Structure 1
Amino acid sequence: MSLFALTQPCSANLQVFPTRVVLTDQKKNGSLSMRHIGPKMERYRISAVFYQMKPDGSMSLLKDGRSEPTSLVQHLRFSPREVVLQPGTEQVLRLMLHPRKRLPDGDYRAHIYFEPADSAEQEGTAPSAANGAMQLRAKIAVAIPVILRGNATAKPAIENLQLVRKPKAAPEFTANLVRIGSGFLFGDLHLFFTPAGGAEESVGTILGLSSYIDSRTIRFPVSADADKLRNGKFRVEFRSPTAEGGGVQAHSEISLL
């Protein structure tokens, strides 16, 4: 049994930084730093893979993503492809853009996938009484996106913004993040609420949100109490990452009763 985490810097026994690598025609090299924080030696296999994004924002691993129009898998060279790490040790992975032919203008992507060589350990020798299955302890793999920025452009828009109230649970907001153009979207979401006659306050931040398709659903909980989100305005902003200036790229607002 193997689990994976997309763009998570720390998962189970492995830390990987940075959580996103951006390449260009001028910057064709990059690196990732791995740190093993587990209690014993671990072997990791490293590969380049392609995830297909679905309209709900989830990601599905393709067995062979090299034929996808925006796949960078076949155009990446990286080393090493397998490492053995002792507890507390680090290893640097170096990668390079090496296209087999001139790529058409546009954005391309892949994920560098770090997987424990022994992706599941047997906890015991006896099957469970319920279904006869062996008890397994999952080891979690980490997938880090590698983006090639071409000359493609993309403008974001936020549509169909709604606030969903749930009994005995934090409220959630839903919206569609729409892409106008062919480039990839990457940025941060900032949530605000302004009560009638009051001052605006922040009620949530979602960092590192991406979209590789024309429209995807976004759904996240709001930190404020549901009873406080009444008789006012709720606003969502999509901003460029702080390292790129943090400017507002798109926004949407609704009135709450």
Structure 2
Amino acid sequence: MINRILLIFIISVFGISYQCMAQGDLLVTPTRVMFEGNKQKETLNLVNTGNDTATYTISFLQYNMNEDGSFILLDKPGENQMFADPFLRIFPRRVTLAPGEPQAIMLQFRRKADMLPGEYRSHIYFRSEKNSNPLGMNNSIKDTTELQVQLVPIFGISIPVIIRSGEVNVSSELSDLKLESSNEGGQFLRLTINRTGNISLYGDLVIQFTPLQGKPLEIGVVKGVGVYTNINKRRIVVKLNSTTPLINGILNVKYQNASEKKKIVYTEAELKI
């Protein structure tokens, strides 16, 4: 008897700012989709970067965000949350890719007249199936009376899809800044991002230190920090890139958009040390 144990690995790209994401030999771009204004279509590009032919099924999942940035899988909308998948059409839903083969996935948004103002969100889930053996694997079984265990990893990637409808608004504020030291001798900064409004936040945190006599130094960056609509605050801990303890100066923290073209600062705060 053959007993196959399936190991499931899910990587959720909830606002990671990389332009592409690779996991389990699957490359996906873009890693975040936004429908607002008159936008109705998006093309997702997949590439099998592995050495074996692989099959992927595509579906939707729903998540809530905790204040520490972790996620909870949902089966129904929570308070102040609306799912996007009833308004989305995706095709094809299943693809088989040879090594190095690309595939375009079409995502279409169908706006409805009764949509409420605010933000609808779901996650597209790409799940890998093991439809073929890796190159060089022999299927023959020498002794069928023995229990054989084969570890078959099943990888998955999920990316957020956001629809913004009607009148939307959002504002943010940084609070609870606190500089702390680790047992290993490094320093890190704790802070809270506060959100108000009917849509989520998404951007980069940039931390600078300015000594009393000297120029500003960038000592920390966290890209792709999101605050979903089901929470009003997100607690962040940032390890600072400083070789010496920070004393006698000012820490400046900016929360800004993730665009590489034009930077817009949502909010900022300072901490004197």
TM class, shorter-chain normalised?
Answer: 0.7 to 0.9
Amino acid at match of 1:194: T
Amino acid at match of 2:83: S
Give the aligned partner of residue 238 of structure 1.
255
Give the aligned partner of residue 224 of structure 1.
242
Matched residue of 2:241: which SS? Answer: coil
Q: C-alpha deviations, 1:27-79, integer Å up to 9, x for none?
A: 01111101110110111111111111111111122245599732112221101
| Uncovered stretches (5+) of structure 2, i.e. residues with no partner | 1-6, 142-148
Give the aligned partner of residue 90 of structure 2.
78
Q: C-alpha deviations, 1:184-211, integer Å up to 9, x for none?
A: 1011111111122111110121121111
Amino acid at match of 1:115: R
Structure scoring higher RCO (CA < 8 A, sep ≥ 6) equals 2
1:27 and 2:27 correspond: no
CA contact (8 A) 1:66 1:74 kept: no
Q: Following TM superposition, by how much is the alpha carbon of 1:141 offset from its aligned partner in structure 2, in angstroms?
A: 1.3
Q: Hey, what's the Cα distance between the residues in 2 that align with 1:35 and 1:68?
A: 36
Query: For the structure 1 residues 142 and 65, does the alpha-carbon distance in structure 2 shift closer, same or farther, using more than 3 Å as the test?
Result: farther
TM-score by length of 1: 0.86
Give the aligned partner of residue 18 of structure 1.
30
Q: Following TM superposition, by how much is the alpha carbon of 1:105 offset from its aligned partner in structure 2, in angstroms?
A: 0.8
Residues 14-163 of structure 1 mapped to structure 2, 5 A cutoff: 14-64=26-76, 69-99=81-111, 102-118=114-130, 136=151, 138-150=153-165, 151-163=167-179
CA contact (8 A) 2:257 2:266 kept: yes
Give the aligned partner of residue 131 of structure 1.
none
TM-score by length of 2: 0.82
Task: Give the number of equivalent residue pairs.
Answer: 246
Q: Following TM superposition, by how much is the alpha carbon of 1:245 offset from its aligned partner in structure 2, in angstroms?
A: 2.4
Amino acid at match of 1:239: Q
Alignment root-mean-square deviation, CA? 2.7
CA contact (8 A) 1:49 1:65 kept: no
Q: C-alpha deviations, 1:116-163, integer Å up to 9, x for none?
A: 1249x9x9x9xxxxxxxx673644311111111222110111111112
Select the structure of larger CA radius of gyration: 2
CA contact (8 A) 1:57 1:217 kept: yes
